[in-house]
Every structure is written in C-alpha cells, then in structure tokens.
C-alpha cells in the first residue's frame, strides 16, 4: 500500500523504483546500442575523412560530431589537389571500409580482435574530437565496447562483432542513399573537380554496395 508521500513522488521516480535492479544494466546496454546505431556511422564517416587526410600528408585539426547525426572534419594542407579530393571523397566510404575490415577479421578467425580494434580506433578519435557532444558520443561507444569486452561471454562477443560489421556495412549504403547528391561532400567535390555531384554519389553507392556484398559473403 502506498503512503501519501509515495503517492506524491514524481512518476519517473516511481517508475524507476518499480524497476528491479537486475533490469537496469540490460536497459542501459540497450540504450547504448541504440545510441551506437544512430551515431556510429557518423564517427566512421568523419574518421575516414581524418584517416584519408592524414595519409595524404594533411594535418587533421579536429573533428566535430553533432547531436543531429552530422559531423565535420577540418584538415590543413594544400587548398587543391589529389590529397584534398581524396580526403573529401573518403568520408562516405568510411562505414563500409571499417565494416569490411571487421568482416575480414571475422572471416580470418580473429573475431575477438574486432571489438578491441574498434575500441582502439575510438580512443584515437577521442583525441581528435573538438566538441562536447562528440566527446560524449565517442565515450559512450567506448563504454559499450568495454562492457562487451569485460562482461560478455566469447559467444556474445562474437555476436557483437558480427553485429558491428553488419551495422557498418548496412549504414554505409544507407548513408549514401539518404544523402545522395545533396551531400555536402558531393558539393565540395564538384567545386574542386567540376564533376557533377550525382557522379560522386553514384561512385559512393557502387563502392558501398560492393563492400556490402563482399562483407556479406565473409559473414555468412
């Protein structure tokens, strides 16, 4: 029976009290998984920009990850040329590239390495992020991986690695289909090369679908 004081407690507090403590951890993990599914492709996208820029000799000034699932990577270097074009082009291939890499490790039998490598890459990204939400986003993704690495069984870790690979591969295609030729990167590439935006969008779509097909063969 509720006392008068209990009846006047806020509904959210009553709901929390009604939840068994054993349910809090699964609910927290599910929340992290949902957050990851929304924002991980953005992290991979901006990470690909940063990786491409660094590999072509450009200095990575920083990365911003926004709450509306957008992002921005600033690099310093020549204001034209192949390096800048490659840096701009690489973003939309990021999720598919990382997903295909994960699928390759799984196919080779290094399933456990997928989560460890993903965690290491996120830690590197943490040092590049320059806004508060971006730090929180990366830290929450790190937390999810730490939970699986520390507490999940080998079987569950394998399921998580497969799920991560599929998520990246599918989001790579979905990201391109959602943004299409309206993507800011396509506009930047058109200005640099005078090649129409739709051409860049089609190239991204062809390459991400090819990565999905290759990854699917490895994972099934």
Q: pLDDT grade, residue 25 (50/70/90)?
A: low
Bridge partners of residue 73, in order along the sequence: 63
Instruction: For residues 101 and 178, give the distance between their C-alpha atoms in angstroms, rounded to a whole number.
Output: 23
User: pLDDT (tens digit, 9 = 90+) per residue, 47-57?
Assistant: 999 999 999 99
pLDDT at 157 over 80: yes
> How many beta carbons lie within 10 A of that of residue 194, not counting itself?
7
User: pLDDT (tens digit, 9 = 90+) per residue, 169-212?
Assistant: 999 999 999 988 889 999 999 999 999 999 999 999 999 999 99
Quote the percentage of the chain above a pLDDT of 70.
86
pLDDT score recorded for residue 127: 96
pLDDT score recorded for residue 34: 74
Q: What is the helix (H) or strand (E) element at residue 130, kind and residue range? A: none
Beta strands (DSSP E) in the chain are 59-65, 71-76
Per-residue tokens: 38? 């929304």
pTM score, two decimals? 0.85
Instruction: For residues 35 and 17, give the distance between their C-alpha atoms in angstroms, rounded to a whole number.
Output: 24
pLDDT at 1 over 80: no
Q: pLDDT grade, residue 21 (50/70/90)?
A: low
pLDDT score recorded for residue 75: 96
Instruction: For residues 28 and 208, give the distance between their C-alpha atoms in angstroms, rounded to a whole number.
Output: 32
pLDDT at 135 over 70: yes
Greater pLDDT, 29 or 163: 163
Q: pLDDT grade, residue 144 (50/70/90)?
A: confident
User: pLDDT (tens digit, 9 = 90+) per residue, 68-115?
Assistant: 989 999 999 998 999 999 999 999 999 999 999 999 999 999 999 999
Contact 21/36 with Cβ under 8 angstroms?
no
């Amino acid at each position: 029976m509720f006392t008068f004081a209990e009846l006047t407690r806020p509904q959210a507090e009553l709901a929390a009290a009604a939840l068994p403590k054993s349910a809090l951890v699964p609910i927290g993990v599910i929340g992290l998984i949902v957050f990851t599914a929304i924002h991980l492709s953005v992290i991979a996208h901006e990470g690909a920009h940063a990786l491409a820029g660094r590999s072509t000799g450009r200095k990575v000034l920083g990365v911003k990850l926004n709450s509306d699932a957008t992002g921005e990577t600033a690099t310093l270097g020549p204001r034209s040329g192949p390096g800048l074009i490659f840096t701009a082009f690489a973003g939309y291939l990021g999720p598919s590239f990382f997903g295909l890499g994960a699928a390759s490790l799984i196919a080779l039998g290094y399933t456990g390495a997928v989560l460890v490598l993903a965690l290491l890459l996120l830690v590197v990204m943490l040092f590049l992020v320059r806004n508060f939400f971006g730090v929180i986003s990366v830290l929450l993704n790190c937390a999810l991986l730490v939970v699986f690495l520390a507490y999940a069984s080998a079987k569950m870790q394998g399921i998580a690695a497969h799920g991560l690979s599929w998520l990246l591969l599918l989001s790579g295609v979905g990201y391109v289909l959602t943004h299409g030729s309206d993507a800011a990167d396509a506009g930047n590439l058109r200005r640099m090369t005078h090649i129409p935006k739709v051409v860049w969008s089609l190239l991204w779509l062809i390459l991400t679908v090819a990565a999905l097909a290759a990854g699917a063969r490895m994972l099934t």
